[in-house]
């Protein structure tokens, strides 16, 4: 791994961690309502720098956030890690399999969907083990996930475009 990659991963992880921490401070009107802001950073990392960078950023974010929040290796950590990894893998595969069919918004939706599917199945198999409550909650969580997924996708898209524009300007300046 090159030094530049390491630096990139460190910076992105710091951003993701900050967003994750900020999100955990927000009051939640509905218990399962979490906007998943850290996914913005994951998506930017995935589209600009590739799958491995995005996976590293997610792992670092999940582990460090759980240590800071005091949930390391607890149920919340398992759900958070499972959801995070599932969404990175799903988004990475989507980019690979359907190049140029989905934009940032579509990939963000896929990420939100698989994040929720992974969390719900983990919650069912490990903690709740009753189908009824999971079935009642699932559609609601998926609906919220679709809405926040779109918002995150739009933010990511704007971020990516601005980053690319800055990169281009930099190249032009050094070229002259």
Partner 1 sequence: MKETIKNTTVADRLLFLFLISISIAGIFISRDALSHNPDVVIEMDGKPAYTLPLYADRLLSVDGPYGDTLIEIKEGKVRVKEPHCPNQLCAKEGWISKGVIVCLPNKLVIIVGGSKKDQQPGLDAITG
Rounded Cα–Cα distance for residues 171 and 176 (Å): 9
How is residue 27 annotated by DSSP?
Answer: -
Residue 10 or 140: the one with the smaller Cβ distance to partner 1 is 140
Q: Residues 1, 2, 4, 31: which binds partner 1 (CB under 8 A)?
A: 31
How many whole angstroms separate alpha carbon 71 and alpha carbon 115?
19
Residue 111, CA atoms < 13 Å, CB-side half-sphere = 36
Are the C-beta atoms of residues 8 and 53 closer than 8 Å to each other? yes
The torsion region of residue 100 among left (phi > 0), alpha (psi -120 to 50) and beta comes to left
Q: Can residue 105 be called a binding residue for partner 1 (CB under 8 A)?
A: yes
98 scored as a contact of partner 1 (CB under 8 A): yes
- Pick the stretch among 9-17, 35-43, 50-58, 140-148 that binds partner 1 (CB under 8 A): 140-148
Contact residues for partner 1, defined by CB under 8 A: 24, 31-32, 34, 69, 71, 75-76, 79-80, 98, 100-106, 109-110, 113, 119, 127-128, 130, 132-133, 135-136, 138-140, 142-143, 145-147, 149-150, 153-154, 157-158, 161
């Amino acid at each position: 791994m090159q030094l530049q990659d390491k630096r990139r991963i460190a910076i992105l992880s710091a951003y993701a961690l900050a967003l994750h921490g900020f999100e955990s401070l927000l009051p939640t009107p509905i218990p399962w309502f979490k906007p998943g802001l850290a996914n913005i950073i994951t998506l930017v990392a995935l589209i600009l720098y590739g799958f491995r960078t995005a996976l590293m950023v997610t792992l670092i974010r999940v582990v460090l956030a759980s240590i800071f929040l005091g949930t390391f290796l607890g149920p919340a950590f398992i759900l958070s890690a499972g959801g995070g990894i599932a969404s990175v893998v799903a988004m990475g595969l989507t980019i690979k399999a359907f190049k140029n069919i989905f934009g940032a918004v579509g990939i963000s939706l896929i990420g939100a969907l698989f994040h929720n599917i992974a969390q719900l199945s983990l919650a069912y198999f490990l903690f709740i083990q009753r189908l009824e409550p999971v079935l009642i909650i699932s559609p609601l969580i998926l609906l919220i996930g679709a809405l926040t997924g779109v918002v995150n996708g739009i933010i990511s898209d704007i971020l990516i475009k601005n980053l690319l524009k800055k990169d281009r300007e930099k190249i032009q300046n050094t070229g002259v």
